[in-house]
Amino acid sequence: MAYLHGVSPVSATFKQQPEHFEVTELLEPQAEQAGEHQWLWVEKRGANTPYVAGQLAKFAGVGERQVSYAGLKDRHAVTRQWFSVQLPGQPLLAWQDLEHDEFSVQRALLQPRKLKTGAHQGNGFTLRLEDVSDLTALRDRWQLIAEKGVPNYFGAQRFGHNGQNIAKAKLWFAGQLRQRLSRTQQGLLLSAARALLFNEVVSARIAAGRLLPEPGDAMILAGSQSYFIAEPDDPSLLARHAEGDVLLSAPLPGSGSGITGHAIAEFEAAVLADHVELVTGLQQHRVDAARRPLLLRPEQSEFKALDETTAELRFNLPKGSFATSVLRELITTQFENQLLR
């Protein structure tokens, strides 16, 4: 996949310990503390989100479908996020009595509504990089990324171990998968297929150097999912793009007609033509087409040198974005399997 700023000249290691990769969900509950949904602020280490949800359900004596969360968080990290458990007519349980080696409930409150998928604004990250080859160069590279952004690639974790989700998706679409898929498994494969196609278009556009708005581009309004089609005679578009008011986008393919027009539509279609089986499979399963920003810019970014070869980074990303895509542009590392190739 193409780099926006070229391969980094700085080498470093990260994620040697879960404490070197911290993720905090950005979500504030309602002020009202009443209702049948018990919201739990949970810190976990070495456990994935669905596993913790299952343990919470077990403690509450309910089925796992009564437990919800806004998004999945990395297993090999220290993460903090909200869960909700629906318990009609019950006071807050004694969640402090739930003891587990891999997570703890740090706060509990009542809320009138369940926690829905995607309800969070984003995630805050604190990363520790060790064995940094050149701290000054790392700081300069971080400043460049904070100003210009990085490709908004889906991370390797979206595709499963060794890309197995894509291989399974192709077999499933072709009717050759000898496995009955649950609804959740189907969703994972569909999501992986769309992510791969998005990444391919983003990489091709960066490689072609087409990083300014063109007639026919689907421009996303910053901070929203709304978009408009760029017109050939819009004199304000370049300025709005430079200011970050509007963003270039790439397709999340699915059913429905193409959104872009002019030469950029032909460009995207040419890239997707190399993956007909995935595009067709998404259409057959009636996945709605959508758009996603082409580039990703870390927000509230901070850089702190801890010693001559160690640095700590803090930044926020919108939901659905991957910190590993930021790190891929920032450093080279011997743990490339943790980054997006």
Active-site residues, by number, are 74
In 3-state terms, what secondary structure has residue 120? coil
Q: Is 133 within 8 Å of 10 (Cβ atoms)?
A: yes
Residues 6 or more apart whose CB falls under 8 angstroms from that of 63 comprise 57
Q: Is 123 within 8 Å of 25 (Cβ atoms)?
A: yes
List, in sequence order, every residue forming a beta bridge with 228; answer none if it has no partner.
219
List, in sequence order, every residue forming a beta bridge with 39; answer none if it has no partner.
84, 109
Distance CA 25, CA 67 (A): 17
Q: Look up residue 89 and give its DSSP letter.
A: T
Residues 6 or more apart whose CB falls under 8 angstroms from that of 288 comprise 254, 255, 256
β-pairing verdict for 78-86 and 21-26: parallel
- Map tokens 């370049």 to a residue: 238
CA 11, chain centre distance (Å): 24
Residues 6 or more apart whose CB falls under 8 angstroms from that of 195 comprise 154, 158, 159
Query: Residue 328 corresponds to which tokens in the numbers above?
Result: 């891929």
Alpha-helical regions (H) of the chain: 49-60, 135-148, 164-173, 183-207, 237-242, 262-272, 276-284, 323-330
